[in-house]
Amino acid sequence: MGLFSFVKDAGAKLFGIGAAKADAPAAAGVTAEALEAALKEHGFSIEGLTLSVDGDKAVVSGKVATTEEAEKIVLALGNVVGVASVDNQLEVDAPSADAVFYTVKKGDTLWKIAETHYGKGNGAKYTEIVKANTPPVKNPDLILPGWVLRIPPLK
């Protein structure tokens, strides 16, 4: 699937697993073990996955069932403070259409994002975006600038 870019200083901090601590600098570095813990925290099985870190780039390989699962794993890894990119080398058993990835900007709402991607009058389709990002997004009322969201195609 390729290389995906993220905002290095956005997302959930790994120090204390998910606890955002202002005094924990992103420069401290991310480890494969910390990324593994982040995936487990989001409810993903890491069985059959290989995770490594090269500077601020996370590399994930292995086999997953669906394109959706692969994209959610990429988001979970990329939305960790300290990760600037994710090299997705996952193999997918049942490939489907890829989703669009969108970086949240200041002032965005899920309604506005839905109307931008699905057309005017389709703001209520924001629930599709929430479903597509759960996990890693746990609170649909909380999206922060710099986060990358998965925007699935409408069915």
Residues 6+ apart with CB under 8 A from 29: 53, 82
> Digits of tens for pLDDT over the chain (155 positions)?
678 888 776 655 433 334 343 334 344 578 999 899 999 988 899 999 999 999 999 999 999 999 999 999 998 898 888 899 999 999 999 999 889 999 999 999 999 999 999 999 999 999 999 999 886 677 778 888 888 899 999 87
CA atoms within 13 A on the CB side of 18: 12
CA 46-48-50 angle, to 5 degrees, is 75
Domains of the chain are 2-94 (3.30.1340.30), 100-151 (3.10.350.10)
User: pTM of this prediction?
Assistant: 0.79
Instruction: Name the residue with tokens 């986060």.
Output: 147
Q: How far is CA 6 from the centre of its chain?
A: 9
